[in-house]
Amino acid sequence: MTGSDAGIIVAVDVSSEQEALALAARLDGAADLLKVGLQLFTAEGPGVVRRLADAGTAVFLDLKYHDIPNTVAGAVTEGCRSGAAIINLHASGGPAMMEAAARAALRFHEETGRPQPLVAAVTVLTSLDREALERVGVRRPVEEQVVGLALLARDCGLGGVVASPMEVAAIKAACGPEFKVITPGVRPAWSVAGDQRRFTTPAQAVALGSDYLVIGRPITGADDPPAALQRVREEIAGRA
């Protein structure tokens, strides 16, 4: 997906399967994917991914794997079995880890005939800025670090990355238009920034070339989540 066809991923940052399934039912397919992250997965385990997938909901399994290659390969295989459509890991885990993850996803597809999930590498968290990176020993400017990790992920066989909208254009220029970019750090013009440091509006992210927009609290925290999601789509279309 690119341009106006960018997918919207709703972050389901809740603590119970009941809440997650209720939100999925309320959205009733209006979101392109639902994101199961650390909070929900820690509370409920892989079963919630399976049940969402079995109900026809595409799931982005956002666990940001970062471990030795064999461990991450095993985790990616289990993520595939759970029915996740997108799985991510940290690019900073290195080339051997990313290559092992890519092989695991491909092997799952070849052995089962089931769809091969998109495996994407997290570049630099949107909560980090130049100062924060320097404190953990990264001396390169943020964009240079992001693009460098994106190129490494592509060369390791991954299909995309997770990055701030601010780096999308540079990633596409370096890695090609088919390389997917998932962008958190997206806040509708009518919402607050929260804990994000590098963010844009949905319309800006789409204009920059984002393939998927991750939006959480502005939708899930709204009194009417489907209406909030529709408002995001209207903002992207220029009708808000």
> In a structure prediction context, what are the per-residue pLDDT tens digits for the chain, which is 240 residues long?
434 578 999 999 999 999 999 999 999 999 999 999 999 999 999 999 999 999 999 999 999 999 999 999 999 999 999 999 999 999 999 999 999 999 999 999 999 999 999 999 999 998 899 999 999 999 999 999 999 999 999 999 999 999 999 999 999 999 999 999 999 988 887 765 555 455 689 999 999 999 999 999 999 999 999 999 999 999 898 854
Domains of the chain, CATH where assigned: 3-236 (3.20.20.70)
Structure tokens at 19: 């809440």
State how far the Cα of 159 lies from the Cα of 155, in Å rounded to an integer: 10
State how far the Cα of 104 lies from the Cα of 20, in Å rounded to an integer: 28
Instruction: Please check whether residue 26 is in contact with residue 225, taking contact to mean a CB–CB distance below 8 angstroms.
Output: yes
Buried b (16+ CB within 10 A) or exposed e, 154-168: bebbbbbbbbbbbbb
Question: pTM for this one?
Answer: 0.93
Is 64 considered catalytic here?
Answer: yes
Q: Supply the angle between the helices 47-54 and 17-27 in degrees, to the nearest 10.
A: 20
The DSSP bridge partners found for residue 182 are 162, 212
State how far the Cα of 184 lies from the Cα of 1, in Å rounded to an integer: 16
Instruction: Please check whether residue 42 is in contact with residue 20, taking contact to mean a CB–CB distance below 8 angstroms.
Output: no
pLDDT at 187: 84
pLDDT at 3: 41
Residue tagged active-site, from 35, 64, 172, 180: 64
